[in-house]
């Protein structure tokens, strides 16, 4: 798949940074010595950690070179490392593992979360947020357009993210190795500039696997068909704006 594109991702920086703010607000740690931002992207979530824990060593980790380039430019005093969340293991004890909008991209991520929690020191925290929007029209439309256009093929059929597990199953897997596990959903209604903006939003995230499987002409046609579908489900409000309904799942696990 093509690399992530930091510029595309940051077109909606304010909206995308609200969930990590809400997640961090629920982290029950007054101080930490070391925090790692898993899937740090362009450093927007890492910056929140630096602001909350100014005395901590804050490290960002990501698998995308473009995201890491942007993050290093933004926070030159932080360390950023290129690694895969699925296999990375901290070399020393980390008090806070922060993972905003990354685990949904990691196959079998609940087991990765558990493996990471098992390596936390007592009282250490893993805080994660994942979009829980695979049943939203925005995502159903991706699959529908993928299955009906001239581009329909096996690669596109597998491009959609799978549903997240239920809150119960996270709890049952993580609680045996935690003092406390908090799980909740928040549904955001992001105000964006019409249906085209919803396409732009997902070009920076969930549409990437679909677009990577298409050549430039087919990708443009795919996006046109997708935007038409989006316009049917996300009407323009009286002021020209559109509300993007966006459910997200939060997990804060304390070792």
Give residues in contact with ligand SAM (CB under 6 A): 4, 16, 20, 39-41, 44-45, 62-64, 67, 84-86, 100-102, 105-106, 205
CB of 30 to ligand SAM, least distance (A): 22
Nearer to ligand SAM, 16 or 248 (CB): 16
CB of 85 to ligand SAM, least distance (A): 4
CB of 148 to ligand SAM, least distance (A): 27
Tally of residues, the chain = 255
CB of 84 to ligand SAM, least distance (A): 4
Nearer to ligand SAM, 158 or 172 (CB): 158
Output the residue with the shortest Cβ distance to ligand SAM: 41
Nearer to ligand SAM, 161 or 233 (CB): 161
Nearer to ligand SAM, 102 or 197 (CB): 102
Distance CA 90, CA 97 (A): 10
User: Reading across the β-sheet that carries 125-131, which strands appear in turn?
Assistant: 79-82, 57-62, 34-38, 96-100, 125-131, 242-254, 180-192
Structure tokens at 126: 């893993």
CB of 206 to ligand SAM, least distance (A): 9
CB of 19 to ligand SAM, least distance (A): 7
Nearer to ligand SAM, 100 or 242 (CB): 100
Nearer to ligand SAM, 85 or 151 (CB): 85
């Amino acid at each position: 798949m093509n690399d992530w594109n930091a510029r595309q991702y940051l077109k909606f920086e304010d909206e995308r940074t609200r969930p990590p703010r809400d997640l961090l607000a629920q982290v029950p740690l007054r101080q930490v010595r070391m925090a790692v931002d898993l899937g740090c992207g362009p450093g927007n979530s890492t910056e929140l950690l630096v602001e909350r824990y100014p005395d901590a060593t804050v490290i960002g980790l990501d698998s995308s070179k473009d995201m890491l380039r942007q993050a290093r430019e933004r926070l030159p005093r932080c360390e950023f490392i290129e690694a895969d969340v699925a296999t990375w293991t901290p070399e020393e004890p980390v008090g806070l593992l922060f993972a905003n909008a990354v685990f949904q991209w990691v196959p079998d991520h609940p087991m990765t979360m558990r493996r990471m929690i098992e390596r936390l020191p007592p009282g250490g925290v893993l805080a994660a947020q994942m979009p829980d929007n695979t049943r939203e029209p925005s995502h159903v439309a991706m699959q529908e357009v993928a299955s009906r256009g001239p581009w329909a093929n096996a690669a596109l059929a597998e491009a959609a993210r799978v549903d997240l597990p239920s809150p119960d199953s996270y709890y049952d897997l993580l609680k045996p190795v935690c003092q406390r596990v908090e799980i909740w959903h928040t549904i955001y209604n992001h105000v964006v500039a019409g249906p085209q903006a919803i396409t732009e939003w997902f070009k920076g995230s969930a549409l990437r696997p679909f677009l990577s499987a298409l050549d430039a002409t087919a990708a443009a046609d795919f996006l046109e068909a997708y935007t038409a579908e989006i316009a049917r489900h996300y009407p323009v409000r009286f002021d020209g704006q559109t509300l993007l309904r966006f459910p997200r799942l939060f997990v804060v696990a304390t070792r």
